[in-house]
Amino acid sequence: MKVGDKVQGTVTGIKPYGAFLQLEDGSTGLVHISEIKSGYTDNIHKVLTIGQSITVQVIDYDDYSQKASLSLRTLETEKHPHHNRHRFSNNRYQYGFKPLEKALPKWIEQAMTDLKQS
C-alpha cells in the first residue's frame, strides 16, 4: 500500500474525530473528520454508518504499525468552490492623481505659511 492508492474498506467504528476502517488487505485505517468531505462535517453519523463499504484514498501509511490515514474528500468529484467575494468600496478613488491634485493647493498654502514663519 502506498500514498495515493484507492482502496476498499468497511467502517468498523465511528468516533467524534473520525471513522475507523478495516481495509481489504487486512490493515486498518482512520478517516479523520476533516477528510470525510469538503467543508464542515458536524456529525460523522450523518455521512457514514458502521458496516458501510466505501472506497477511500490513502494519504499516509505507516509501514511499522500498518495503519493508514485515509480520505474520502480527495475522491470527491464535485469540489466545493471557494468564491472570491468582491468587496464593493470606493477605495480606488482615494489613490492616484485626482486626490493629489485636490490636496496640492492646501499643501502649497501650508508650505508657504511655514516658510514665512521661519
pLDDT for 47-65, tens place per residue?
Answer: 899 999 999 999 998 888 8
Q: Which cell numbers in the block locate residue 78? A: 464535485
Q: Which cell numbers in the block locate residue 50? A: 458502521
Pairwise CA distance, residues 24 & 59, whole Å: 17
Pairwise CA distance, residues 46 & 48, whole Å: 6
Predicted confidence at residue 94, as pLDDT, reads 64
Query: Domains of the chain by range and CATH?
Result: 6-75 (2.40.50.140)
pLDDT for 51-108, tens place per residue?
Answer: 999 999 999 988 888 888 999 988 887 665 555 555 556 666 666 777 788 889 999 9
Quote the mean pLDDT of the chain.
84
Q: What percent of the chain has a predicted confidence (pLDDT) above 90?
A: 40
